[in-house]
Amino acid sequence: MNSSIILSFSTASLLSDPGYYILCVVLASAVLLGIHFMSKVETAKRGNQISALAIALGIIITLIKKDILPVWLIYPGMAIGLIIGLILARRVKMIQMPQLVALLNGIGGAASAIVASFALITMYQSPEIFGKTTASLAIVIGAVTLFGSLVAAGKLHKVLPQKPVILPAHEALTGILLLILLGTVLLGGFMNVISVTVLLIVMLLFAAAFGVIFSIRVGGADMPITISLLNSLSGVAAAIAGFAVTDILLVAVGGIVGASGLFLTQIMCRAMNRNLMDILLGKTALQGKKEEKAAEEPVAKAEEEKEEEAKPADPVEVIKAAKSVFIVPGYGMALAHAQHLVKSLAQKLTSGGATVKYAIHPVAGRMPGHMDVLLIEAGVPFEDVYEMDDINDEFKDADATIVIGANDVLNPAARNAEGTPIYGMPILNVDQCSNIIIFNYDLQPGYSGVDNPIYDRKSGVWVIQGDAKDTLVDFLTKL
C-alpha cells in the first residue's frame, strides 16, 4: 500500500500474529457468550452488549493488524453508516420490527457481496481457485440475501402485495435458477472465459431473479421462517466472504450466525409443523388442501357437555363474571394496532378483581416472539405473558379466553385432521376453555385455509367480527 492517498506507516507490527489470533478466538468466544446470554430474559440485554462490544473490538484489531488504521478514507463511510443505523434503530416502530430485520439483513448481504466482488476482481487473473470460488459463492449468496430480503421487507411493509405470488412452474424455475447460479460460481472459480465485469453482472441478475422468486411466493405464516432463513444466509455470506479475503474473525462470526440462524429456523419450522426443505423448494402452506373437514367429534362432545349448563347469552356478562381470563393475541391484533386496547381491557379486568394471563403461541405474528415485543411495548407486564408450554394445561381451568386476531394457532383441527397443512402443529388449548370470545376480522379460515371447528361450536363461543380496534373499543365501553 504505497499509493499517495495512503499514509505510509505501519501499525501491523503493533500486534503480533499469535496475539492477533488469540484476540480473534477471544472475540469469537465473546460473540458466543453474547448469544448464549441472549437466551435468557434476565441476561439478554447484557448478551447483546457483549456481542456489540466484540464486534467493535473486532473492527479495531482488524484496522490495526491489517494496516488500515491510517487509511482515513474509510472513516467517512463508517460514520455515515453508524449515524444512519442509529437513526433507523431509534425511529422504527416495534410493529415494524420484522421488516426492519429483513431490510438490515438484505443490507448485510449486499455488503458481503460487494466485499466478495472486490476479492474476485483482484484475484480473477490469478490461479487462486479457492479464493475465486469462495468469492463467487459469497457474491451469489449475498445478492440472493439482498433481493430476497428486499422482497420480504416490501411485503411486510405492504409496499408489495402480501398474497403469495406463485408463477407457473415455480418450483422448476427455482431449481433452474439455482443450477445457473451454481454454474456462475464454477465459472468464477475455475474458468476465465468471460470478463469479470460481465460475470459479475450475470451473477447479480440471476441472483436477483432467484431472490425475488424465492421470496415472492411467501405469504403470511411462512414469512417468519423466510426471514429467519435469510438471516442465516446473510451470516453464511459474511463467512464465505471471509474466506475470500482471508479474514479469520469474519469467517468465525459469520459461521456462528449462519449455523445458529439455521437452527433457529428449524425450531420455527417445528413450531409450525413445516418442513424446512418444503419451504426451500417452494412448497407453501397455501397449497394445502381445504377439502379435509376437521374431525369434529371431540368438539361435538364438548358441545354436549356445554349445553347442559345454562350459559349467559352475552359475552360481556361472561367476562364480567370471570375470575381468570386468558388472552390469546395473534397477528390480527398487530394488524389492527390493537395491543394498547388489549392492555386496557386487561387492566379493566384486573381492576375488577380478575387475573389476566396472556398466552402466546411460539410463531404468532409475522416473526417469532413478535407478539411478546408488541405487548411489552404496549406496557403489558412482562410477568403476565406466558409461553404456550407454560400455560397450555391451564386453559381448562380458566373462566374465559379472549382471542384477538388469532385462528390457526388455536385450531383443534391441528390435533386430528390428518392431511391438512396444520396437522401436527402444536396449538394453544383454547378449545378446552368453557367460554371463548373471539375477536376476528371475519369468519374465514386462517392462513392455513383450514376451518376452525371452534367457530362452529354452539355454546360457550362468541365471535365478534370486525376490525379488532373498533370491536374492542365497543366491548370496553360495554364492560
Q: Does 93 bind other proteins (CB under 8 A)?
A: no
| Near other proteins in 395-454, by CB under 8 A | none
Find the binder of other proteins among 227, 333, 334, 359 (CB under 8 A). Answer: 227
Q: Does 368 bind other proteins (CB under 8 A)?
A: yes
Residue 127 CB, shortest distance to other proteins, in Å, is 12
Binding range to other proteins, per CB under 8 A, among 67-75, 214-222, 296-304, 416-424: 67-75
CA distance linking residue 10 with residue 168, whole number of Å: 58
If residue 60 lies in a helix (H) or strand (E), which one and from where to where? Answer: helix 44-65
Count other C-beta atoms under 10 Å from residue 52's C-beta. 12
Q: Does 190 bind other proteins (CB under 8 A)?
A: no
Q: Does 9 bind other proteins (CB under 8 A)?
A: no
Q: Does 376 bind other proteins (CB under 8 A)?
A: yes
Residue 191 CB, shortest distance to other proteins, in Å, is 19
Q: Does 382 bind other proteins (CB under 8 A)?
A: yes
Q: Does 22 bind other proteins (CB under 8 A)?
A: no
Q: Which is nearer to other proteins, 247 or 431 (CB)?
A: 247
Query: φ, ψ for residue 357 (rounded to 5)?
Result: -125, 145
Sole residue written with cell 440462524? 261
Helix, coil or strand: residue 446: coil
Catalytic residue among 222, 247, 408, 431: 408
Q: Does 63 bind other proteins (CB under 8 A)?
A: yes
For other proteins (CB under 8 A), the number of binding residues is 119
Per-position x/- string for 69-88, each x denoting binding to other proteins as judged by CB under 8 A, each - no binding:
--x-xx-xxx-xxx-xxx-x
Q: In what order do the strands lie in the sheet with 355-360?
A: 385-387, 355-360, 324-329, 400-404, 436-440, 461-465
Binding range to other proteins, per CB under 8 A, among 158-166, 209-217, 363-371, 403-411: 363-371
Q: Does 66 bind other proteins (CB under 8 A)?
A: yes
Q: Exposed, middle or buried by CB within 10 Å (0-12, 13-18, 19+), for 78?
A: exposed
Residue 82 CB, shortest distance to other proteins, in Å, is 5
CB within 8 A of 304, min separation 6: which ones? Answer: none
Taking the CA atoms of residue 57, residue 63, residue 69 and residue 71 in that order, the dihedral angle to the nearest 10 degrees is: -130
Q: Does 196 bind other proteins (CB under 8 A)?
A: no
Binding range to other proteins, per CB under 8 A, among 238-246, 280-288, 400-408, 467-475: 238-246
Residue 62 CB, shortest distance to other proteins, in Å, is 5
| Near other proteins in 457-476, by CB under 8 A | none
Q: Which is nearer to other proteins, 25 or 300 (CB)?
A: 25
Q: Does 59 bind other proteins (CB under 8 A)?
A: yes
| Near other proteins in 259-278, by CB under 8 A | 259-264, 267-268, 271
- Helix, strand, coil share of the chain (percent; to 5): 65, 5, 30
CA distance linking residue 362 with residue 384, whole number of Å: 16
* All cell numbers assigned to 271: 413450531
Find the binder of other proteins among 238, 359, 433, 461 (CB under 8 A). Answer: 238
State the sign of the Cα–Cα–Cα–Cα dihedral 153, 156, 159, 160: positive
For residue 230, list its beta bridge partners: none
Q: Does 388 bind other proteins (CB under 8 A)?
A: yes
Q: Exposed, middle or buried by CB within 10 Å (0-12, 13-18, 19+), for 470?
A: middle
Q: Does 49 bind other proteins (CB under 8 A)?
A: yes
CA distance linking residue 193 with residue 306, whole number of Å: 76
408 is a catalytic site residue: yes
| Near other proteins in 105-124, by CB under 8 A | 105, 107-108, 110-112, 114-119, 122
CB within 8 A of 146, min separation 6: which ones? Answer: 106, 107, 109, 110, 113, 207, 211
Q: Which residues are marked as active site? A: 408
